[in-house]
Amino acid sequence: MTFSGYRRPDGRAGVRNKVLILPASACASDTARIVSQQIQGTVTFHNQQGCAQVAPDQQLTMDVLAGFAANPNIYGTVAVSLGCENCQMDLVSAAIRERTNKPFRQVIIQEAGGTSEAVKAACRYAGELAEEASLLRREEIPISELIIGTECGGSDPTSGLAANVVIGSLSDRITAAGGTAILSETTEFIGAEHILARRAATPQVRSRIFEIVHRYEKALRQVGEDVRNGNPSPGNKAGGITTLEEKSLGCIHKGGHTAINAVYDYAKQVSPHQGLVIMDTPGNDPSSVAAMAAGGAQIVVFSTGRGTPTGNPIVPVIKLTGNRITFEKMRENMDFDASPLIYGGSLSVLGDELLKLVSEVAGGRLTKSEALGYTEMAIARVCNYV
Amino acid sequence: MRNAVIIDPRDSVAVAIEPVRQGEAVLYECEGREIHMTAQEDIAIYHKIAVRDIIPGEPVVKYGEHIGIASRPIQKGGHVHTHNLESRRESLETGTEEEKGI
């Protein structure tokens, strides 16, 4: 099975062909927005971080910046920095170069001499890259080169009954085809970490699963919080969820049934052809989706019960719901109806249909969030600003 | 009409997909077979129903995995929730000391 994608000089294959206007920090974000508004074929986002961060916090930001530029959906990057921020242009460009050899240009606002000159230079670079990008043609790429991110948000009882189960079936199909599926959201593993650990391919992976869960709990304890208290929430309990392990099991279904072959830290580059892997991300949707995009996922599959319009600047987000009322009410935001699984539909048929949709989206079909222009973005943090 | 689903054939609980009244028939499908039982009490939509008798101390199974331990006897057709099912942190029993972060 193949999809129609764009081959990059670093060997990877993308499903979109955009030029990224990359703001190194909050202070470069509006300049990046102005450039992106001017030049067609570009994407950007508001970077809330990039300065006044402690080292491990800044590292999360750097990994997202470098990972976005390296994501195979991106043809090339024009990075814009202010000049004095912590995420210095030479650090950003070096981090990008470590991940990819794709076209790269840079503009530093303080060196260019203010907004007008910085915008002028960045627009010129962006226009050149956008024109080059437009000459590229799609080619047939084996589906084994896909890295699919999985995510859930705005969950309700149908998420564990249907939507996550159908995503699990997709994960099994992708891994069986030699591709990669990413299971994310460490918060959702808590209470079921022993079950995930049992599925680890090696003792190292098993230790890493316990490590990321306990690291997460420890970080929360440092601010006086215990995730196990009050979880499942009263709302979860009213909806029929009794225990934390039950809640977590509903979530980890998204990974399907195969062995877990690797555990990646937040936004680190994921190797292709790895089967099922875990990435350590928070439950917060946009920052988890961003981490998987930075890891190289070309597409994210997202389950929701209550419904959400969410999207991402560089990866198509395919949204499905197992709640037939939500599907009807928010049809304009939903790409796939997984509710037939609850009412007698076949999992293998739904899994095949979702795989077909993934292949179509890979080939250029717009998701609902792309058509509506949703590009929500957040980057995980470990600490307050300094 | 089907009014419950079982997620994994190993499960000891099914999930109501409609509100079910005490004494009503519960109908679900498992591995291609239609299974009937009688609800012993009212079951709210998306709440759990025992598909067999469960004794105290026995793990309750959903998604093919343990979701906790029965704290009281549960009759087939009974409502399974916080009053008769308790969480048990199994990683404390399966992880090593180092893995538990202790």
Minimal Cβ distance to B62: which of A211, A237, A246:
A246
Minimal Cβ distance to B67: which of A206, A245, A344:
A245
Contact call for B95 and A342, based on CB within 8 A: no
Strand pairing partners for A76? A19
Per-residue confidence (pLDDT) for residue A51, from 0 to 100: 97
Per-residue pLDDT tens digits for B7-50: 889 999 999 999 999 999 999 999 889 999 999 999 999 999 99
Let me know whether A126 and A153 are in one domain: no
Let me know whether A248 and A103 are in one domain: no
Does the residue A83 lie in any domain? Answer: yes
At residue A44 the predicted structure's pLDDT band, cuts being 50, 70 and 90, is very high
Strand pairing partners for B70? B85
Residues 63-102 in B contacting A (C-alpha not used; CB under 8 Å): 63, 65-68, 80-82, 85-91, 93-95, 98-101
Q: What is the mean pLDDT of residues A13-35?
A: 98
Let me know whether A95 and A197 are in one domain: no
Let me know whether A250 and A312 are in one domain: yes
DSSP per position, A173-236: HHHHTT-EEEE--GGGTTT-HHHHHHTBSSHHHHHHHHHHHHHHHHHHHHTT--TTTT-S-HHH
At residue A228 the predicted structure's pLDDT band, cuts being 50, 70 and 90, is confident
Minimal Cβ distance to A249: which of B67, B85, B91:
B67
Distance of alpha carbon B24 from alpha carbon B44, whole angstroms: 13
3-state helix, strand, coil in chain A (%, to 5): 45, 15, 35
Whether A56 contacts A42, CB under 8 Å: no
Q: Is the pLDDT of residue A50 over 60?
A: yes
Residue A167, min C-alpha distance to chain B (Å): 14
Residue B87, min C-alpha distance to chain A (Å): 5
Residue B84, min C-alpha distance to chain A (Å): 10
The residues, ordered by sequence, that sit 6+ positions from B81 with a Cβ below 8 Å of its Cβ are A237, A240, A242, B47, B48
Contact call for B65 and A195, based on CB within 8 A: yes
Q: What is the mean pLDDT of residues A100-113?
A: 98
Let me know whether A123 and A161 are in one domain: no
- How many contacts, defined by CB atoms under 8 Å, are there between A and B? 92
Backbone angles phi, psi at A171, to 5 degrees: -55, -45
Contact call for B62 and A214, based on CB within 8 A: no
Radius of gyration for chain B, computed over Cα atoms and rounded to the nearest angstrom: 15
Closest residue of chain A to B69, computed from CA coordinates: A243
Q: DSSP state, B20? A: B
Please calculate the CA angle A143-A259-A202 and round it to the nearest 5 degrees: 120
Contact call for A342 and B17, based on CB within 8 A: yes
Distance of alpha carbon A363 from alpha carbon A356, whole angstroms: 11
Let me know whether A246 and A125 are in one domain: no
Let me know whether A42 and A174 are in one domain: no
Q: What is the mean pLDDT of residues A376-386?
A: 93
State what percent of residues in chain A have pLDDT above 90.
Answer: 90
Does the residue A108 lie in any domain? Answer: yes
Per-residue pLDDT tens digits for A236-293: 898 899 999 999 999 999 999 999 999 999 999 999 999 999 999 998 999 999 999 9
Q: What beta strand segments (E) does chain A contain?
A: 2-7, 13-14, 18-23, 42-43, 74-81, 104-108, 139-142, 147-152, 180-183, 260-264, 275-279, 299-303, 317-321, 336-337
Query: Which residues from chain B sit within 8 angstroms of residue A207, using beta carbons?
Result: 98-99
User: Average pLDDT over chain B, rounded to whole?
Assistant: 89
State what percent of residues in chain A have pLDDT above 70.
Answer: 100
Out of A7-16, A126-135, B15-24, B83-92, which region has the weakest mean confidence (pLDDT)?
B83-92
Paired sense of beta strands A180-183 and A147-152, if any: parallel
Per-residue confidence (pLDDT) for residue A129, from 0 to 100: 98
Q: Is the pLDDT of residue A227 over 70?
A: yes
Does the residue A304 lie in any domain? Answer: yes
Does the residue A118 lie in any domain? Answer: yes
Q: Is the pLDDT of residue B86 over 70?
A: yes
* Domain of A236, in residue numbers: 142-372
The CATH code belonging to domain B4-90 is 2.30.130.110
Q: What is the mean pLDDT of residues A164-172?
A: 97
Out of A110-119, A219-228, A342-351, which region has the weakest mean confidence (pLDDT)?
A219-228
Per-residue confidence (pLDDT) for residue A235, from 0 to 100: 84
CA dist list (Å): A265 to A280, A300, A335, A358, A365: 5, 18, 29, 25, 31
Let me know whether A64 and A125 are in one domain: yes
Residue A325, min C-alpha distance to chain B (Å): 13
Please calculate the CA angle A65-A363-A375 and round it to the nearest 5 degrees: 35
Tokens 């093919």 identify what position? B64
Closest residue of chain A to B99, computed from CA coordinates: A210
CA dist list (Å): A213 to A189, A197, B75: 7, 11, 35
- The CATH number of whichever domain residue A107 belongs to comes to 3.40.50
Please identify, among A115, A135, A155, the residue that sits at the C-terminal boundary of a domain.
Answer: A135
Let me know whether A242 and A293 are in one domain: yes
Does the residue A325 lie in any domain? Answer: yes
Contact call for A191 and B66, based on CB within 8 A: no
Does the residue A276 lie in any domain? Answer: yes
Residue B49, min C-alpha distance to chain A (Å): 10
Contact call for A242 and B80, based on CB within 8 A: yes
Let me know whether A69 and A150 are in one domain: no
User: Average pLDDT over chain A, rounded to whole?
Assistant: 96
Per-residue confidence (pLDDT) for residue B97, from 0 to 100: 47
Interface probe for B, chosen from A206, A243, A248, A324 (most Cβ of B below 10 Å), is A243
Q: What is the mean pLDDT of residues A18-24?
A: 98
Both tokens of residue A363?
Answer: 């080939």
Out of A48-57, B19-28, B93-102, which region has the weakest mean confidence (pLDDT)?
B93-102
Both tokens of residue B72?
Answer: 């009281």
Q: What is the mean pLDDT of residues A187-208?
A: 94
Does the residue A1 lie in any domain? Answer: no
Question: What separation, in Å, do the N-terminal and C-terminal C-alpha atoms of chain A show?
Answer: 50
Distance of alpha carbon B102 from alpha carbon A168, whole angstroms: 33
Whether B67 contacts B50, CB under 8 Å: no
**Of A34, A40, A44, A96, which is closest to residue A71 (Cα–Cα)?**
A96
Let me know whether A317 and A300 are in one domain: yes
Residue B52, min C-alpha distance to chain A (Å): 18
Per-residue confidence (pLDDT) for residue A130, from 0 to 100: 98
Backbone angles phi, psi at A23, to 5 degrees: -80, 125
Please identify, among A92, A116, A135, the residue that sits at the C-terminal boundary of a domain.
Answer: A135
Radius of gyration for chain A, computed over Cα atoms and rounded to the nearest angstrom: 20
Whether A304 contacts A163, CB under 8 Å: yes
Let me know whether A88 and A147 are in one domain: no
Question: What separation, in Å, do the N-terminal and C-terminal C-alpha atoms of chain B show?
Answer: 51
Which ipTM score applies to this complex?
A: 0.91
Number of domains in chain A: 2
At residue B91 the predicted structure's pLDDT band, cuts being 50, 70 and 90, is low
Q: What is the mean pLDDT of residues A197-217?
A: 96
Whether A81 contacts A109, CB under 8 Å: yes
Q: Is the pLDDT of residue B98 over 70?
A: no
Q: DSSP state, B32? A: T
